[in-house]
A and B are shown apart, each in its own frame.
Chain A
Amino acid sequence: MNKSSTTFKGLVLGAVMALSGGLSVAPATAAVVGVEPELQKWTFAGIFGKYDSNQLQRGFQVFQEVCSSCHGARLMSFRNLSEEGGPLFSEDQVKTLAAEYIILDPELAEGERAATPADNWPNPFETERDARASNNGAFPPDFSVLAKARGVSQKFPFWALNYFTGYQEGGADYIYNLLVNYTDAPHDVEVPDGQSWNAYLGGTLAMGPPLFEGIVDYEGDSVPETVEQYAADISAFMMWMAEPHLASRKSMGFRTIVFLLVLAGMMYLVKRKIWSNVAH
């Protein structure tokens, strides 16, 4: 950090000047130069949005079977999985699930114990160093709020419309588009060892394509076992993980705004009545 302190001399006019550009263009984290994102129709979009618990259960299955061997979810508790507005697993299912996981607990003679619904999801690696050692030097980011730490960049006027539509699904759209855009690299691009080309990023990343057709076996035959379906399900699940109270927040918002509209109407009448005898 001492070094960065000196590096930042003149930052005001130097780096930052060149670096800025994002904010009012709302959600844009990665400098995406690849293919245009295909925005999905999410059940949790819009003012009446809520999660589809079936989709979240499938998303959890993808998370558990594919992602969780490398990615953590340190802010998610097992109990969240049975809470209102979420995947709605039963409490017994969650108990059974939690018991399959080990929590390190130095207070105990054994040094570990089975997880309970009150525990948070255990990290797949004890330290960042372990994680990097197992992942070719890359550090798989924690999933807890990842869906809110990403966004799709949009051109004017589309980003401006977001303020009126309340578009907050940029993170889920980002994750979906990342997952379905693992393609062959263009001929003029040399992909380094241990990296994979992603057409959405328009660049390479350390994570290889995680999803393949049929990699997760969904119960029943009604839901297709395709990369697109998996990608949509895990994106929705990650959005829920990042924003577990979304449905109750939105329904409370609807009631609040209806109340405020009525109150505003009544206040206007009060005001008009009071001022009716004053020329103003």
Chain B
Amino acid sequence: MSGQSGYNPTNPVEKWLDERLPILRFSKEHLMDFPTPKNINYWWTFGAILMFMLVIQIITGIVLAMHYTSDASLAFDSVEHIRRNVNYGRIIQGTHAVGASMFFFAVYMHIFRGLYYGSYKAPREIIWILGVLIFVLMMATSFMGYVLPWGQMSFWAATVITEIFAAVPVVGEPILVLLRGGFAVDNATLTRFFSLHYLLPFIILAVVILHIWALHVPGNNNPTGVEVKTSADTVPFHPYITMKDLFAVVVFLIPFAWFVFFAPDILGHPDNYIQANSQITPPHIVPEWYFLPFYAILRAIDFDMLFISSKLGGVIFFGGSIVILFFLPWLDGSKVRSGSYRPLFKPFYWLFVLNFLMLTYLGAQAAEGIFLLLSKVGTAYYFAYFLLVLPIVSRIETPNPLPASISESVLGNKGE
């Protein structure tokens, strides 16, 4: 899929450089000329938004690290110092904290777009797998970041989440001690989390580069799921997609700014303004909203299964709910990519979306009574979607006729 117009340097300096390090050629081909399906809709802009968010988080994070102190006795006050005494500290810290939520919002949009339009299907399996890996790394990074202000929620989230690993047979206990740097969450936990929180975003960046590299081999999927046939189906990445993405980024910045400037604490929890105290357990320990669906799955397993304790069972389902995403390209056998042409797939997909929202809600409720029952139903459907619905639907479904090409579908739309 290399360039439509190509790179023909005339300037002697450019020629000289091109023979030695063809970085301008690479940029021209991949950042400007790269042929992109002309029918991709605004759901496709979340890729650029995510790239933007990663950069925002890294820049604000680097500045915060200049003022932050990762010592259990000083961490809480050092974050307050940033908010109070560092120039624009309240904005930088607020951007970073709200940014984590916006980042996850965007990544969920990106994932669900991929799920609907079948972007995980051949030849894009590796793109999808790298994407899931990025998602897992994001979860680890944001979790460790949440621990750094060393408030009550930080401390108790660290205690509860690291405890999950203790459920693993044999190696669980050593893993727990390794994660915490001791038997309990303490200074050693905070310092290693800070170190890893600084490291992981750069690993994310590296995987993002692989993700985009893998994307630039087959090129973008599109709302029809029909592969690009001729150059009439595509537009050059610049200026068509760059300007469209930039517009989307600016729109995305509006709610982002709303939270940063008017309600920077609304996505957090008041308890995190109380300094960590190992002697006092807060009445409610709740993860950040973006972990809630998986948290609901973790808690839904409150029964023993044969020799598997309820605790280990919860952890298996929790882990499984993410691991299963890696296998998605081979679970959905339908040759038709786009959900728009799959009448049987569509209702199950939207039910999956609703189910995911329900699990998010349930993750914040007490795991008892009707909430627990619904969590079990939600967990069952989450797994059934991947293990039963997709394999079966892809075998029995008669897809609607696909357009012959992207151009035809576009003209068809205009004709209607």
Contacts and interface: CB of A to CB of B under 8 A. Distances in A.
A166 to B, nearest CB: 4
6 contacts: A9-B163, A12-B299, A16-B285, A149-B271, A245-B83, A254-B261
A144 B184 CA distance: 28
Contact of B286 (A13, A21, A148): A21
A28 B263 CA distance: 16
Contacts of B84: 75, 80, 244-245
A279 interface: yes
B385 to A, nearest CB: 23
Interface string B346-365: 00000000000000110111
Main secondary structure of the interface of B (DSSP, over half): helix
A264 B247 CA distance: 6
B366 A18 contact: yes
Interface in A13-36: 13, 15-31
Contact of B270 (A27, A162, A253, A279): A27
B401 interface: no
A269 to B, nearest CB: 9
Interface stretch (A63-71, A195-203, A255-263): A255-263
Given A17-B367, A25-B364, A166 B262 contact: yes
Contact of A12 (B77, B183, B258, B315): B315
A270 B299 CA distance: 49
Contacts of A21: 284, 286, 364-366
B358 to A, nearest CB: 12
Contact of B414 (A16, A31, A279): A279
Interface residues of B, number: 77
B247 A13 contact: no
A29 B270 contact: yes
Contact of B239 (A19, A274, A279): A274
Nearest to A270: B243
Interface string B267-279: 0011101100010
Given A167-B263, A264-B247, A13 B311 contact: yes
Given A2-B183, A280-B38, A11 B244 contact: no
B250 A275 contact: no
A4 interface: yes
Give the interface size class of chain A.
35 or more
A19 B284 contact: yes
A153 to B, nearest CB: 10
A15 B160 CA distance: 10
Contact of B266 (A18, A74, A168, A263): A168
A95 interface: no
B263 A29 contact: no
A41 interface: no
A23 B160 contact: no
B80 A252 contact: no
B261 A249 contact: yes
A200 to B, nearest CB: 16
Given A16-B160, A20-B367, A249-B91, A47 B262 contact: yes
B295 to A, nearest CB: 8
B171 to A, nearest CB: 16
Contacts of A162: 263, 266
B314 interface: yes
Interface in B273-300: 273-274, 278, 281-289, 292, 295, 298-299
